[in-house]
Amino acid sequence: MNPRTIKSKKSPRTILAAIGIGVLLMGFILYAILSSGAGIRDARMSGVLVAKEFTPQAERQITIGAAGGLKAKDKAGEYLLTVEVPRAGGKKFTVWVNKRLYDSLTVGDAFDVGPYLTPEKPDEKN
């Protein structure tokens, strides 16, 4: 075995500078992570439900399940909500929803267009 001891040739100034750069870099990364969601929160499209519409279109939908089996369900029609979003300059959005959600809402309720984001068709504008 070698009895020699190994001493670092790095000065305390170099070590402190490396630690300082590391702390600044970690701070910048943390700031970037925390502020990255701000744009999404600011762009949230919440509005007021101004109209509900049910279009009867009775049909039977057949789907293939994950295990390969066929599944059938009857659909009564389309359930549409019209939501006016003040943040978007009063723009109206048409939202397709399921029957359970359609029945639970009334005109005048607050509604988050959020994941739907389906703008009204140009020929339907008032």
pLDDT digits (tens, 9 = 90+) for 63-84: 887 777 888 888 888 889 998 8
Would you list the DSSP string of 14-76?
HHHHHHHHHHHHHHHHHHHHHHHTHHHHHT--EEEEEEEEEEEEEEEEEEE-TTS-EEEEEEE
Nearest to 52 by CA among 16, 8, 13, 104: 104
| pLDDT value of residue 3 | 76
Q: What are phi and psi of 11, to 5 degrees?
A: -80, 160
From the options 2.40.50, 3.30.70, 2.10.260, 3.40.50, give the CATH code of 46-124.
2.40.50
- Do residues 113 and 49 make contact, with C-beta atoms less than 8 angstroms apart? no
* Mean pLDDT for all residues in the chain: 81
